[in-house]
Amino acid sequence: MTGAPSAPAVPTGPRGPLQGPDAAAWRRLHADALERLESWDPPDEQQEQLRREFLDHLHTHPDAMSKAGPPAHLTGSVIVLDEDGGSALLTLHRRARAWFQFGGHFEPGDASVWHAATREAREESGIADISAFPEIAQLDRHILSGDFGACREHLDIRFAATTARSAESAVSTESIDVRWWPVDALPEGTREDLRPLVDAGLRLRRR
Burial label for 195, CB within 10 Å (0-12, 13-18, 19+), is: middle
Per run of 10 residues, the mean pLDDT along the chain (length 207 residues) is 42 62 96 98 97 97 92 95 97 90 96 98 96 97 67 91 95 93 95 96 92
pLDDT of residue 8: 44
pLDDT of residue 7: 39
Domain ranges of the chain: 23-206
Q: Is 46 left (phi over 0), alpha (psi -120 to 50) or beta?
A: alpha
CATH number of 23-206: 3.90.79.10
pLDDT of residue 202: 97
pLDDT of residue 145: 62
Cα–Cα distance measured from residue 5 to residue 12, given in angstroms and rounded to the nearest whole number: 21
Residue 8 CB neighbours (<10 A): 12
**For 137-146, what is each residue's pLDDT tens digit?**
999 998 776 5
Buried b (16+ CB within 10 A) or exposed e, 157-194: bbbbbbbeeeeebebbeebeebeebebeebeeebeeeb
In this structure, the strands spanning 87-93 and 175-182 are: antiparallel
pLDDT of residue 46: 97
pLDDT of residue 4: 41
pLDDT of residue 146: 56
